[in-house]
Chains A and B, each alone.
Chain A
Amino acid sequence: MTGPFALPWLTFAAILVIVGSIIGAIAWGIRCPGSDDTDGEAPDE
């Protein structure tokens, strides 16, 4: 059984993974924790 672009679904899923990664990266970028400049600095000694 074939999916879009005449590819079998299991092969087409690879394209979905790439598109999903891009969407996921955008979502994570928007919600990215620790986005202020001093984040990660060691506490004052």
Chain B
Amino acid sequence: MSNVAIYGTVLGVYLAVLIAMGLWMARRTRSVEDFYIGGRQVGPWVTAFSFVAAYFSSVVIIGGGAFGYRFGMSTLWVAASNVLIGCTLAWIVLGRRIWQFTKRLDTMTIPGFIGRRYDAREAEIISALIIFVFMIVYNVSVLVGMGRIMEGLMGIPYTTGVLVAGVIILMYVSIGGYLAVVWTSFIQAWIMIFGLLLLGFATLHAVGGFTAANVKLAAIDPGFVETPGIWGWGGLISFALIVSFGVWGMPQLLVRFYSMKSTRVLRLGTILATLGGAMAIFPYAIGAASRLLLPTLENPDLAIPKLTEMVLNPWGAAIFLAGVMAAGMSTFASVLIIVSGSIVEDLRRGRKICGGHENGASKGSGSRALLYGRIASFGAGLVSLLIALKPPGLVLVITAFAWAVIASACLWPVVLGIYWRRGTRAGATSSMIAGAAVALVWMIAGRPLGIHGFIPGVIVSLVVFVLVSLVTKPPAREIVDRAWGTGR
């Protein structure tokens, strides 16, 4: 059996499972709440592993390997921050309160939460716009990454790869909604974990074990095993924070807490998400070790693909490729449902279309509302897909900013929204604008001091939120009581 046939067989089975799952979940999706948050009926295993799959895109696997190749074992600290801050602490600090607040405020989206928590329509619109624009370009980057990987590893033309992956995701998301997203992500997480374990152990075997790899790396340059090593503290800390603390403001991950069937899910879910998140160690460690096998690589992004060809047999390489595709597809699908939700809930709130009502706009269950959801998902995905087919240079530049801008804008209005009663409408609105603007300008300015734009963005956003909230009128008692479930 030729390599192409093996790759085709593995990927064909994998993609067929995704489509079947979309069709199966369509039968369980009867209302808008089902479509966007799975009717708040998702259990710990699916919540935890779909969280992990949405967290780690294919860009993280390939890019993580590239960072490991360039900077060595100090990148294990990025993996450590992914696990501790991005998974364990995120679940402990945010999970319970996000579930409670969104249930009390009767909302399905981050803009909906911000709008209701602060009784601020303008904040809802601003957050929806930021999410809409930057999530679409973020999704372009995910698709571009997948297309390049398929081209590099399998020789599939870039356009064909993007079209196949994109169209299949569009199908199962617009048909099966959130349930299809989380169930496919659940399966995809296991494929990712299996693929990374396979490549990890094959690489370790090829270099003579983890200890031997470290000894050999130190012999090349001690900076490859030291912390911060050749990366330096500024780059290491700011990158570790954007990919871990930044998660606390990322809507496609926070929505996992909305959709839990109860807070009981958090008990097992936190453990499972931490265990699943621990796979973050593989791309970095593998990338670092790959320097021993591929010492003269000009483009570090090729470290993982080249290594796959070198240490795995065709079946193993096909499974790893499916894992990399799974990483990209699960992230794309998760983002797509968020973009769609932001548009539809905001429209419904603003115009009271499709069965929404005054205090429970998100509860509408009309078939028309569901249709809007499906159309919005398909449309938003199609836009990303069309851009990804031939991405203009500007879009590729903006994709690098997307994560920083969204996290800088949304993080504090969400985190302080569930922990600080004194936070006000003006505080939240100004904080979002200031955080997004500073992150964007910092990135456009070329990351002064080698620091990622998320750091200044999130600091300015915090300062503005607190100061403006303290000098403006405290929120009305009934708004605070409603959010905290007190005072009745």
**A contacts, CB < 8 Å to B:** 5-8, 10-11, 13-15, 17-18, 20-22, 24-26, 28-30, 32-45
Give CA–CA (A40, B485) in the complex, Å. Answer: 8
Pair B226/A14 contact, Cβ less than 8 Å: no
Pair A42/B103 contact, Cβ less than 8 Å: yes
Pair A35/B263 contact, Cβ less than 8 Å: yes
Pair B103/A41 contact, Cβ less than 8 Å: yes
Q: Which of B83, B96, B225 contacts A21 (CB 8 A)?
A: B83
Residue among A15, A26, A36, A45 facing the most chain B CB atoms (10 A cut-off) = A15
Pair A42/B104 contact, Cβ less than 8 Å: yes
Give CA–CA (A10, B77) in the complex, Å. Answer: 10
Q: Contacts A5-B214, A6-B214, A21-B87 known; A37 to B76 CB distance under 8 Å?
A: no
B399 is an interface residue with CB less than 8 A from chain A: no
B56 to A: closest C-beta gap in Å: 15
Q: Which of A26, A34, A36, A45 contacts B271 (CB 8 A)?
A: A26
Pair A18/B262 contact, Cβ less than 8 Å: no
Contacts of A26 in B (CB 8 A): 271
Contacts of A34 in B (CB 8 A): 96, 263, 266
Q: Contacts A14-B79, A45-B488 known; A28 to B270 CB distance under 8 Å?
A: yes
| 6 A-B pairs with C-beta separation under 8 A | A15-B281, A17-B80, A24-B88, A35-B264, A39-B264, A40-B485
Besides A11-B74, A25-B275, A43-B485, 16 other CB < 8 A contacts? Answer: A6-B211, A7-B73, A8-B225, A11-B226, A14-B80, A21-B84, A21-B274, A22-B274, A22-B278, A25-B88, A25-B91, A28-B270, A35-B267, A39-B100, A42-B104, A44-B488
Contacts of B104 in A (CB 8 A): 40, 42
- What is the 8 Å Cβ interface bit string for chain B, positions 62-103, against chain A (1 contact, 0 not)? 000000000001101101100110011001100010011001
B210 is an interface residue with CB less than 8 A from chain A: yes
B218 is an interface residue with CB less than 8 A from chain A: yes
**B contacts, CB < 8 Å to A:** 73-74, 76-77, 79-80, 83-84, 87-88, 91-92, 96, 99-100, 103-104, 210-211, 214-215, 218, 225-227, 229, 262-264, 266-268, 270-271, 273-275, 277-278, 281, 482, 485-486, 488
Q: Contacts A5-B210, A6-B211, A6-B225 known; A42 to B270 CB distance under 8 Å?
A: no
Contacts of B277 in A (CB 8 A): 21
Give CA–CA (A7, B212) in the complex, Å. Answer: 10
The 6 closest A-B pairs by CB, nearest first: A40-B100, A14-B76, A25-B274, A17-B80, A6-B214, A14-B80
Pair B96/A11 contact, Cβ less than 8 Å: no
Contacts of A14 in B (CB 8 A): 76-77, 79-80, 227
A15 to B: closest C-beta gap in Å: 6
Contacts of B91 in A (CB 8 A): 25
Contacts of A15 in B (CB 8 A): 76, 80, 281
Pair A25/B270 contact, Cβ less than 8 Å: yes
Please, which residue of chain B has its CB at the minimum distance from the CB of A17?
B80
B260 to A: closest C-beta gap in Å: 10
Contacts of B262 in A (CB 8 A): 36-39
Q: Contacts A14-B79, A40-B103, A42-B103 known; A29 to B227 CB distance under 8 Å?
A: no
Residue among B74, B267, B486 facing the most chain A CB atoms (10 A cut-off) = B267
Contacts of A22 in B (CB 8 A): 83, 271, 274-275, 278
Give CA–CA (A34, B191) in the complex, Å. Answer: 33
Contacts of B214 in A (CB 8 A): 5-7
Please, which residue of chain A has its CB at the minimum distance from the CB of B264?
A35
Give CA–CA (A6, B226) in the complex, Å. Answer: 11
Give CA–CA (A23, B384) in the complex, Å. Answer: 40
Pair B88/A8 contact, Cβ less than 8 Å: no
A22 to B: closest C-beta gap in Å: 5
Please, which residue of chain B has its CB at the minimum distance from the CB of A44?
B488
A41 to B: closest C-beta gap in Å: 7
Pair A8/B211 contact, Cβ less than 8 Å: no
